[in-house]
Every structure is written in structure tokens, then in C-alpha cells.
């Protein structure tokens, strides 16, 4: 710890802003992985299921969560996927081996079912294309099937399948994690860059106004990081709109201080990708700016050290919808998760799309049991609050904060914070995390040029037991509670942030 006074402060002024928030920053991700789709979103015969087989209890929770863009169908799954398998009469759809997750895919949920699901939760579809085992021809065939009004074989096939109106999908991912040796159809940067450019060019011949996302690195620690982005963008800079980032975090070997500082890596990752994009733009003498699609992010215990929702391990090879990656999240996980949201908002000038991976059961904020209940994990609350109150303009927050030294991220601030102003109402929401595990953190925020006179709410997610979790038996064990000693007087907000806590302070 430093010897500085143990308190934090910053100033808010509407003249110093980062950017308007693109609502798609509050996106999520649905992959054919484990029980995300089957017995998660889709379960015909469930007591709450609608006529399409979608679980009503899950739809209600997704609407409450406030997700916007929804990325589908993968993920690693997409790199071996034939989109044609998931359209048309269900009794004619083939069963396939899914190499990515060693599961059997029934294809009972496909493109039409996904679009119906997205419409019912009020989201926007974000469709990923298989550029692992397939290429340009299959991409434009999928685009024609999905988006062309009619009069061609593929568009008429969609109509014959019961979808008269085109799906109108505007946002497309050109493959997934093709820098990774684990990916079916793994490619070098030059191989992928050329394929992405060829695919983008062909898709724009059909519709020049699509938004296209090129694959960036699967993580900042990849040996090819930055070189991959530079090579891919050299091929495709003028043909794509975004480049993707993926990052997952977990606690290692009991080093909780480093885990709580995970967002330091997120911010570094974003800034390094921005630097690479802008370097290539300068080298190409282009006036275009490439934005970022952080379309996979979350806390994920990839070593399997986290408790799981059911206590069961991985399913057997080639099972249907096995229980995979069902991490059961703690209060500590939720605080880190909130900090990752803060990192995304702090870079809203370049992060225009972000997708929490994933939505239901698989490293997800929503959990279900087949034929049974659905409930909120601890991470549900930060996302729902950020989506509800993080729309508007991000204000520039430069805190003065006590620091501490972590093994993985060096010296970091104990306060991690941002603020968002609703331009229509003038209200401001402060999102703040106290990374100190044992001590409260007094906070003082000076308000300039903001006509704010009262604290509407100070919501806190913390617990005397930082490992507390919500389960099927105790679905409401962890919920937000009201903060105390929070005041706004004379243009100064004062608050005490509880140890190891996520805070939402709304001012009007």
C-alpha cells in the first residue's frame, strides 16, 4: 500500500467527455456450447415455454438483464458449422458432431429460431460466419438466405421455411479466433486476412452498408498479438468496420488482489489494439477509423477451479447439451465483472460493440435447471445496472486514488470508476469498484457544470463473505443493498465504498 491518505476523489464536468455509449456495448453471446441453447434458452416442454419452445422465465430474465446485440452461433462452434443444417423442417435437420466442444448437435435450434428469440428479447442479431472450414461462397449464400427479400433460390427457400420477411441482419463477424491453434480451420494472419478481405468484398457487393467485424487476437497474451492485427488490417482495413477482442479472467493461486485488478489488463488490451489499428490506418494513409468489437469477455475459470452450478463436471464426449463451463459466480467474481464493465465504458470512444460471453448457463449471468427454475447469478446485477443506467455520454474520470501493488498487474488504483450522463435528463450515474479487500474507501466527487442536487440511489454489491454465491437452493443469497452515508451537498458527492464492492450511485 502507498502512504497516501486512504481516500479517493475525482471531478466530473460535462465539458470533458469520452464519447456517447453505443447501446451495443451491452451485448451478449449465444453459442451452441453446453446448455446455453438447449435447456437454457430453448426447452420445448418446459412449463414456461412458448409456442416456439423458448423458456418464458429465461426470456423475462434476459429482458431484465438489458442485453442489446446478441452474437451467434459461436465462438469455436461456428468454425465447423453448416448454417444449412439449422434451417427448414426440424424433422429433416441432421445431427452432427461438434468438434469444438466434442458434443452432438441436434440442430433443433437454428437461424430462424435465433432471430425469433432476438426479436422477443428486443435485441439486435450479430451473426458469425464460418471461415474455418468454409469460405466466401457459403458466407454470401447465408447472407442471401437471411437478408434478400425474395425472387432467388435461397431467399425463396427462406420463405418456404416460413419466414416471409428477410431477417435484416446488419452486423456480421468474419469468423472466430482463427489465430488460435485450437480453432477448427486455424489460419496464419496472412491466410485469414486475405480470406476476410475477400469475404467482406463479396458481402458488400450484395449490401455495401453492412457492419463487418474482423477477427483480432484471441487474447493479448497470444504470441502473435499485434502482429496478427497489423497483418489482418493491412489486407482488410478499408473493407471492415471493427476488429474483435476476447479476454477472460480468473483468480490464480489465491492471488485475489491481482484478480481484482483484472480490468487493468482489459484497458491495456484495448489501448494496444487501438494503437495498432491507428498505426495501420496511418501507414495506409486512410482517414477511416477502425473501432473495436470486444465480443467475448467475462470471468471464466478455464482451469476448472470454480464451483459449478450443479456440482457436476464435464459431460461425456459427443453428448447432447452436456453440462460444460457452468461456473457458479461469487461476490468477488461479480466485483471483477463490474470492473470489466467500467473498463469498456471508459473506452466507449472506440469500443462500439461488446458481448458478454455467454448468456445462459455457460459462464453466464443466468442459470437454469432442465424442467425447473431459472435464477440470477451474482454477475447479473452489475450488467443489468450498467445497461439500465450506462446509456448516454461517458464523462472523463481521472481519479486520485490510493494504490497497491499486485503480482500480475503492478501498481493499480484501489478505485476503478467511470460516470455516464444522460443527455436528455441531465442525470449522472457513477459506477465504482473498491478493490481493497478489507477497508472501506471514502470517495469525494466534485461536480462542475452539472445541475445535480440529490442522490437517487446508492446500490452496493458486496458481502461479509466474498465467496458467497447464488444457487438453485438459495437464488437470492446475494443481491444489491443500499449504501450508507452517501450525500450530495454544495456540488460535492461524498460516499464510503464498502470493501471489495461494486457501486452504482445515481444523481439527479
Give the residue numbers annotated as catalytic, written as ranges.
177, 296
Backbone torsion region of residue 416, taken as left when φ is above 0, otherwise alpha when ψ lies between -120 and 50, otherwise beta: beta
User: What is the three-class DSSP state of 447?
Assistant: strand
The strand pairing partners of 412, in sequence order, are: 404
* 332 Cβ neighbours under 8 A, 6+ residues apart: 251, 256, 259, 260, 466, 467, 500
454 near 493, Cβ under 8 Å?
A: no
Name the one residue in this structure whose C-alpha cell is 460535462: 14
CB atoms within 10 A of CB 221: 10
Sheet strands side by side (includes 428-434): 17-20, 393-395, 415-421, 428-434, 501-507, 455-461, 481-482
Backbone torsion region of residue 108, taken as left when φ is above 0, otherwise alpha when ψ lies between -120 and 50, otherwise beta: alpha
C-alpha–C-alpha distance, residues 29 and 345, integer Å: 18
**DSSP string over 285-299:** T-----EEEEEEEEE
User: What is the three-class DSSP state of 240?
Assistant: coil
Cα dihedral sign, 276-279-285-288: positive
- Of 34, 85, 119, 23, nearest to 309 by C-alpha is 34
276 near 341, Cβ under 8 Å?
A: no
400 near 477, Cβ under 8 Å?
A: no
Helix axes 262-283, 331-346, angle to 10 degrees: 30
- Of 52, 50, 110, 122, nearest to 78 by C-alpha is 110
β pairing state of 410-413 and 487-489 = unpaired
C-alpha–C-alpha distance, residues 378 and 375, integer Å: 10
388 near 380, Cβ under 8 Å?
A: no
C-alpha cell at 256: 485475489
Q: Is 279 exposed, middle or buried (0-12, 13-18, 19+ CB in 10 A)?
A: middle
- Of 455, 309, 436, nearest to 372 by C-alpha is 309
**DSSP string over 36-67:** STBTTTB-TTSTTB-TTSBBHHHHHHHHHHT-
C-alpha–C-alpha distance, residues 76 and 453, integer Å: 49
Amino acid at each position: 500500500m502507498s502512504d497516501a491518505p486512504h481516500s479517493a476523489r475525482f471531478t466530473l464536468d460535462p465539458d470533458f467527455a469520452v464519447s456517447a455509449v453505443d447501446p451495443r456495448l451491452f451485448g451478449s453471446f449465444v453459442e451452441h456450447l453446453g446448455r446455453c441453447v438447449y435447456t437454457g434458452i430453448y426447452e420445448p416442454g418446459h412449463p414456461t415455454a412458448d409456442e416456439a419452445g423458448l423458456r418464458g422465465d429465461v426470456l423475462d430474465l434476459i429482458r431484465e438483464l438489458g442485453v442489446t446485440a446478441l452474437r451467434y452461433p459461436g465462438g469455436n462452434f461456428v468454425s465447423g458449422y453448416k448454417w444449412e443444417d439449422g434451417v427448414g423442417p426440424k424433422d429433416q435437420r441432421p445431427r452432427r458432431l461438434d468438434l469444438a466442444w466434442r458434443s452432438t448437435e441436434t440442430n433443433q435450434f437454428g437461424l430462424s429460431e435465433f432471430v425469433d428469440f432476438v426479436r422477443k428479447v428486443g435485441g439486435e442479431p450479430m451473426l458469425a460466419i464460418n471461415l474455418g472450414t468454409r469460405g466466401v461462397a457459403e458466407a454470401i449464400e447465408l447472407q442471401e438466405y437471411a437478408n434478400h427479400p425474395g425472387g432467388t433460390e435461397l431467399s425463396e427457400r427462406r420463405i418456404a421455411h416460413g419466414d416471409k420477411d428477410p431477417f435484416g441482419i446488419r452486423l456480421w463477424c468474419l469468423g472466430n479466433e482463427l489465430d488460435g491453434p485450437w480453432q477448427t480451420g486455424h489460419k496464419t494472419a496472412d491466410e485469414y486476412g486475405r480470406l476476410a478481405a475477400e469475404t467482406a468484398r463479396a458481402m458488400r457487393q450484395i449490401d455495401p452498408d453492412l457492419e463487418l467485424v474482423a477477427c483480432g487476437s484471441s487474447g493479448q497474451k497470444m504470441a502473435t498479438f499485434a502482429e496478427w492485427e497489423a497483418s489482418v488490417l493491412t489486407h482488410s482495413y478499408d473493407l471492415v468496420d471493427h476488429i474483435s477482442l476476447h479476454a477472460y479472467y480468473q483468480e490464480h493461486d489465491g492471488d485475489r488482489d491481482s484478480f481484482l485488478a483484472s480490468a487493468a489488463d482489459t484497458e491495456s488490451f484495448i489501448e494496444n489494439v487501438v494503437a495498432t489499428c491507428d498505426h495501420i490506418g496511418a501507414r495506409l494513409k486512410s482517414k477511416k477509423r477502425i473501432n473495436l468489437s470486444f465480443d467475448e469477455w467475462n470471468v471464466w475459470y478455464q482451469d476448472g477451479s470454480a464451483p459449478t452450478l450443479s456440482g457436476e463436471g464435464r459431460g461425456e464426449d459427443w453428448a447432447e447439451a452436456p453440462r460444460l463451463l457452468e461456473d457458479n459466480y461469487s461476490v468477488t467474481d461479480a466485483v471483477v465483472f463490474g470492473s470489466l464493465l467500467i473498463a469498456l465504458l471508459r473506452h466507449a470512444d472506440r469500443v462500439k460493440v461488446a458481448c458478454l460471453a455467454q448468456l445462459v448457463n455457460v459462464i453466464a449471468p443466468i442459470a437454469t435447471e432442465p424442467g425447473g427454475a431459472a435464477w440470477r447469478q451474482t454477475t447479473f446485477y452489475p450488467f443489468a445496472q450498467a445497461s439500465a443506467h450506462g446509456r448516454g455520454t461517458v464523462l472523463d474520470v481521472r481519479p486520485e486514488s490510493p494504490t497497491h501493488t499486485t503480482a500480475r498487474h503492478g501498481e493499480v488504483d484501489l478505485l476503478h470508476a467511470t460516470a455516464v450522463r444522460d443527455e436528455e435528463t441531465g442525470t449522472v450515474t457513477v459506477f465504482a469498484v473498491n478493490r481493497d479487500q478489507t477497508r472501506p474507501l471514502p470517495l469525494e466527487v466534485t461536480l462542475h457544470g452539472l445541475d445535480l442536487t440529490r442522490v437517487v440511489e446508492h446500490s452496493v454489491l458486496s458481502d461479509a463473505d466474498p465467496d458467497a454465491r447464488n444457487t438453485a437452493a438459495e437464488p437470492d443469497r446475494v443481491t444489491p443493498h443500499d449504501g450508507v452515508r452517501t450525500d450530495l451537498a454544495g456540488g460535492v458527492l461524498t460516499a464510503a465504498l464498502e470493501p471489495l464492492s461494486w457501486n452504482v450511485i445515481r444523481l439527479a
